[in-house]
Amino acid sequence: MYDSQLDAMIKALASGRMTPPFDVAKQFKQKRINSLNRALGCTNVFASASGNFPLTDSNATFTTYTKPLQRDVIVMGCSLMAADERQDNRITGEFRVRLPNPLEHLSQNYIFPALGFAPATYSVLFPAPFILKASEQIQVDFGWNAPQAGEPLTTGRVEIVFFCASVKDCFDQDDADLFDRAARYVNETDYQRRVLLNSATQGSIAVTSQTDSPFLGGISNMVVYTPPGISSVAVTKGTLTSSETRQADVPLLVVGFSTAACGESIRITDTGTGYSFTQGDFIYSHSLFYPEEFIHSLYRGPYYSYFRLPVPHLLRPGATLFTEHLATPEAEQDPFNPEYLVWECITP
């Protein structure tokens, strides 16, 4: 869509106006409506599975399964994250993905995940998507293998998240109404706009970790764990907090996600539909977003400012995105307190 909009804008300026010529506008609007249709027809499903090596032995293995889903989904890719997020061994061991019949194993060998499945920083997509039938499970085997032999072993929790999309075969009345409203918005506007939705703990006061003094204007604009007013003290494992965006005033296509989180798990709900992206599970926030890139350890990744959702999510007007944040008991690092969480959206 970026190129299409740029093209339309260039043609508009070339014709000496701010709005694109009629035929260009018509074509561009049709594209926007098509992508709206696709966004309404797809829903993000983040299916996670986790486990840990039973002992620090290079022959250790373990197997984990995704939960059976209620619908057929398209599986697009996966990311892996280990509990110890502080070190460059944050993804430990190797894994292989075994798919139910009639699908074939993705790989006959174990795969070292760091380059391809590091969350957000690198491409997490498989060479091609595949369909996983409802009630089927994906089996994931983890093992310490070469080339990791000789590397430090840990028995920390390891999590794999599969990025899936479910597809609607028809729209119900609510969907059809929403589509009409969004299509009307498309027809009334020349271009799409970028909208950032900040997610914050309501009524919270964000303070600096050095002096515990409040940020200027840091009221209800960041994610804050209790006790409020203190960030120099580590958050107790298992502490839960929540954050919520403002209400969407027009239909919005949610395309990305960014957080400063460490050592926390999250689950995300669309309050308009009650839909949970993670099927009610908590997943490591870094399985979606990791601000460092793996090749140059400790370099904050300038390459991805946010995690791009596998398929855009259509947020209804009046709805919010509600996120629960759990200071993960198994994580080595404590959550940042306060931290930020931003959703990137575009208008239809």
Partner 1 sequence: MAIYNEIFDQCFRTLQGTGNKALEGYRRTRYNRAVLALRSQNYFLSCLFFNESGAAGVTGVDRTLPLERPIIIRGGGTNAAIIGNNAPVVDAPSRGSINIKIFRSGSNRAQLSLESMLSTQFLSCGAGQKWEFDWPIPWVLDKNEIIQCNFEQASATDNTDQYYAVNFYGVAVDPQLRCDPSILEDVKEQILKTPIQKPRYLHLKTDQGAGTIVLPTIGSDERAVANTIEVPEHMLILGWRRVIVGMGPHTGAWTPTNVRLVVTGGKAFSRVEIPVHGFEYFTTPDNATFRFAVPHFLQKGASLSLSITSTIETLDEQYMGEIELLAVSV
Cα separation, 190 vs 80, in Å, equals 40
Q: 100: closest CA among 51, 142, 65?
A: 65
Q: Do the beta carbons of residue 204 and residue 222 sit within 8 Å?
A: yes
Question: Does residue 3 touch partner 1 according to CB under 8 A?
Answer: no
CA 291-267-247 angle, 5° bins: 95
Footprint of partner 1 on 231-250 (CB under 8 A)? none
Cα separation, 256 vs 272, in Å, equals 18
Question: Does residue 212 touch partner 1 according to CB under 8 A?
Answer: no
Q: 117: closest CA among 177, 151, 76?
A: 76
Residue range at the interface with partner 1 (CB under 8 A); choices 69-77, 181-189, 251-259, 314-322: 69-77
Residue placing its CB nearer to partner 1 in the complex, 3 or 169: 169
Question: Does residue 258 touch partner 1 according to CB under 8 A?
Answer: no
Residue placing its CB nearer to partner 1 in the complex, 191 or 304: 304
Cα separation, 56 vs 154, in Å, equals 6
Residue placing its CB nearer to partner 1 in the complex, 304 or 322: 304
Cα separation, 33 vs 81, in Å, equals 36
Amino acid at 203: G
Q: Can you tell me which of 70, 193, 232, 303 binds partner 1, judged by CB under 8 A?
A: 303
Question: Does residue 62 touch partner 1 according to CB under 8 A?
Answer: no
Residue with tokens 């080595």: 332
Residue placing its CB nearer to partner 1 in the complex, 17 or 38: 38
Q: Do the beta carbons of residue 276 and residue 67 sit within 8 Å?
A: no
Q: Can you tell me which of 101, 109, 202, 210 binds partner 1, judged by CB under 8 A?
A: 109
In this structure, the strands spanning 252-259 and 341-346 are antiparallel
Residue placing its CB nearer to partner 1 in the complex, 303 or 318: 303
Token pair of 268 as six digits: 């995300």
Q: Can you tell me which of 130, 215, 275, 340 binds partner 1, judged by CB under 8 A?
A: 130
Show the binding pattern over residues 304-343: x = contacts partner 1 (CB under 8 A), - = does not. x---------------------------------------
Residue placing its CB nearer to partner 1 in the complex, 43 or 201: 43
User: Which positions ≥6 away from 63 have C-beta within 8 Å?
Assistant: 51, 139, 140, 141, 142
Question: Does residue 72 touch partner 1 according to CB under 8 A?
Answer: yes
Q: How far is the CB of 285 from partner 1 (least distance, A)?
A: 20
The contact set with partner 1 (CB under 8 A) reads 38, 41-42, 72, 74, 76, 88-89, 103-112, 114-116, 118, 121-123, 125-131, 145-147, 149, 165-169, 293-297, 299, 301, 303-304
